[in-house]
Structure 1
Amino acid sequence: MTEPVTGDPVPAGVLRPHAEQEYAGELARLAEHDDRPRPPGWRLSPWAVTTYLLGGELPGGTVITPKYVGRRRLMEVAVATLATDRALLLLGVPGTAKTWVAEHLAAAISGDSTLLVQGTAGTAEEAIRYGWNYARLLAEGPSEKALVESPLMRAMRLGSVARIEELTRMPSDVQDALITVLSEKTLPVPELSTEVQARKGFTVIATANDRDRGVNELSSALRRRFNTVVLPLPDTVEDEVDIVARRVDRIGASLELPQAPAGLEEIRRVVTVFRELRSGLTSDGRTKLKSPSATLGTAEAISVITSGLALAAHFGDGVLRAADVAGGIVGAVVQDPVSDRVVWQEYLEAVVRDRPEWRDFYRACREVS
């Protein structure tokens, strides 16, 4: 089997390349071998998009690395939704790779993942529809030149994928600005007595979760405009360890951190701790646990391991050890200094202390706790 193909060189100094930059080589190879029907405006067929997400081997031995580790059917449903006139809502608890999947879907379908609206409590309607260059507006009045396109409007003009992150964090009236766009595929501009009609290939991928505070429920009218795919947490420890190891390897390479020879053992330990605490049960099913208020998803495990790698690289011998991840894991678990600290101490004394192979981890956590 050949090595995974690499893309064109990313511009020097870029900390976090877009998916279409980092995986340009894989996307190009898929396009070369893709002889299946493509929906209007798509760069790849639905089969090729799914292969890009889940990984595989092309004729000639080219390896496509997996971007998402999980159930194939979920990705097939998501891709099939985007091949229709329906928008896609990726729903799940924090840390289930919603943003990651949305970015790679946009990169594979339209070659551009940057048409992004970030939802917050302060997101204004202009972020969904359009705004104005007020200097030109005052000088010239309403005109095409004074109009400032939103990422959504630009995606409609280009026939591309628009992404909306954290849709449920937006105020309800801002959310509802999407209804006309998603149902009529037009965006009226009454000030200019015109409208923007979406070109073939336009679609919307939104992400949302209902665990965070400040969530605004979607109206029934808006929810009907989306097909919803719920992304679950990884099914097994092995799946989650694989995800964390792959992402940490990528992040470590971009940060130019030395590789950690013993990293896999610590990754498995961090993943096990997070899975046990969020499920409220030890992996052997014998001990019930209290769960902390923190979200202990895969994204948090990646953050803990990456921070540990930085400690090992700059203040240790380059080998990831228990002492390097202890501080990060305590910080991730103990978000509420009162209730979460009690949960963590009980877990440490009732579970970690009784595992002989975790003695170094127990000592390290005791020191930072």
Structure 2
Amino acid sequence: MLRPHAEDAFAAELAALAAHDDRPRPERWRLSPWAVATYLLGGELPDGTVISPKYVGPRRIVEVAVTTLATDRALLLLGVPGTAKTWVSEHLAAAVSGDSTLLVQGTAGTPEEAIRYGWNYAQLLAHGPSRDALVPSPVMRAMADGRIARVEELTRIPADVQDTLITILSEKTLPVPELGGETQAVRGFNLIATANDRDRGVNELSSALRRRFNTVVLPLPASVEDEVDIVSRRVRQLGRSLDLPDLPDGAEEIRRVVTVFRELRDGVTADGRTRVKSPTGTLSTAEAISVVTSGIALAAHFGDGVLRSADVAAGILGAVVRDPAGDRVVWQEYLETVVRERDGWKDFYRACREVS
């Protein structure tokens, strides 16, 4: 598979944690809250098994998120694009329920049936409303099985559809009036939603719905070192899944990409001496990962097998210049006032000038 689910890709780590986990577990949880946090943050087990970190950030954020799922409140992961909201929600569901696939992908066209239930219309027309004709949503299945459901991009869903969750989260029940019954949530059920307020086309959450969530804000990586570590780790994982050839260490180019993204994102150079304009794009960590992965593919298939500035320059240009008019001016000014004068960056400057 191109991208295995978290519970499949990290099955060995989850099994090792379960074998050494002697702490109390909430009902229907595969691991204790402590083991779930260890799975996300990484660590070493008594037998020497190394658990790789899935999230690099403040430990307290992960602890609050895990603890929330052990209560009757749902979890809302909030942050700007590229702060690993989807990644964290997937791994939380995999560690808690062993299943990260009970997913509703939020879009402007998400219907109410995606959260509640739908119907098999052939069965419905032939036999009328019945349990056999009902098609449960991922949320309904999670309620019945006591698992974690996920709703991605909650604020992209129309407001009237969002509010379908209010009864589910407050009463822990999903009425089925066509059958004169309901589906009640069993212990172990909870819901993780992700949202950001930076993208266009966002529907604000109603105050009634927001009260049903415990909100955890995922910040951008705190330092260059943290972001370089995240990018390097994810690029290696993606390279293995895409069967990209192993290349010599590209740490220097990864650090340059991360530095450029952070400076343009923050509006100031790393030394704090020069103010720069910010483009319209988010320049997230996820975009840096994409730029470096594409650069590795270029170096492997069309270069000399070494990741160089020329391999990442086009990707950086595509990430920065979203608005051909305004962003291009921002990029050119940054190249001439910052990159051109930076020691050891002459090859990077020439490569970026060439593609620009």
Same fold (TM over 0.5): yes
Contact 1:157 1:197 in 2 (8 A): yes
Q: Which moved more, 1:95-104 or 1:250-259?
A: 250-259
What is the CA deviation profile of residues 14-54 of structure 1, one whole-angstrom value per residue up to 9, with x for unaligned ones?
00000000000000000000000001110100000000000
What is the CA deviation profile of residues 270-302 of structure 1, one whole-angstrom value per residue up to 9, with x for unaligned ones?
000000000000000000011000110100000
1:274 counterpart SS class: helix
Q: Which residue of 1 aligns with 2:133?
A: 146
2:313 is equivalent to residue 326 of structure 1: yes
What one-letter code is carried by the residue in structure 1 that aligns with 2:152? E
CA distance in 1, matches of 2:41, 2:246: 25
Q: Give how far 1:135 is off.
A: 1.2
CA distance in 2, matches of 1:318, 1:86: 50
CA distance in 2, matches of 1:318, 1:112: 38
CA distance in 2, matches of 1:208, 1:234: 18
Of 95, 105, 112 in structure 2, the residue corresponding to residue 125 of structure 1 is 112
Of 304, 312, 335 in structure 1, the residue corresponding to residue 322 of structure 2 is 335
Q: Which residue of 2 aligns with 1:298?
A: 285
1:336 counterpart SS class: coil
Length, aligned pairs only: 356
Q: Give how far 1:136 is off.
A: 1.1
Q: Which residue of 2 aligns with 1:284?
A: 271
Of 68, 75, 94 in structure 2, the residue corresponding to residue 81 of structure 1 is 68
Q: Which residue of 2 aligns with 1:309?
A: 296
CA distance in 2, matches of 1:263, 1:229: 34
Of 197, 214, 217 in structure 2, the residue corresponding to residue 210 of structure 1 is 197
Of 46, 52, 61 in structure 1, the residue corresponding to residue 33 of structure 2 is 46
What is the CA deviation profile of residues 287-333 of structure 1, one whole-angstrom value per residue up to 9, with x for unaligned ones?
00110001101000000000000000100111100000000000000
Q: Give how far 1:264 is off.
A: 0.7
Q: Give how far 1:355 is off.
A: 1.0
Q: Which residue of 2 aligns with 1:137?
A: 124
Q: Give how far 1:260 is off.
A: 2.3
CA distance in 2, matches of 1:197, 1:318: 57
Contact 1:54 1:68 in 2 (8 A): yes
1:74 counterpart SS class: helix
CA distance in 1, matches of 2:252, 2:295: 13
What one-letter code is carried by the residue in structure 2 that aligns with 1:361? F
Q: Which residue of 1 aligns with 2:353?
A: 366
CA distance in 1, matches of 2:241, 2:344: 32
Identity of aligned residues (%): 79
2:345 counterpart SS class: helix
2:67 is equivalent to residue 67 of structure 1: no
Which aligned pairs between 1:1-369 and structure 2 lie closer than 5 A? Answer: 14-369=1-356
Which consecutive unaligned segments of at least 5 residues does structure 2 have?
none
CA distance in 1, matches of 2:52, 2:110: 35
Q: Give how far 1:362 is off.
A: 0.4
What one-letter code is carried by the residue in structure 2 that aligns with 1:83? A
Q: Give how far 1:258 is off.
A: 1.4
2:96 counterpart SS class: helix
What one-letter code is carried by the residue in structure 1 that aligns with 2:269? T
Contact 1:262 1:321 in 2 (8 A): no
Q: Give how far 1:185 is off.
A: 0.4
What is the CA deviation profile of residues 151-205 of structure 1, one whole-angstrom value per residue up to 9, with x for unaligned ones?
0000001100000000000000000000000000000000000100011100000
Contact 1:187 1:195 in 2 (8 A): yes
1:343 counterpart SS class: helix
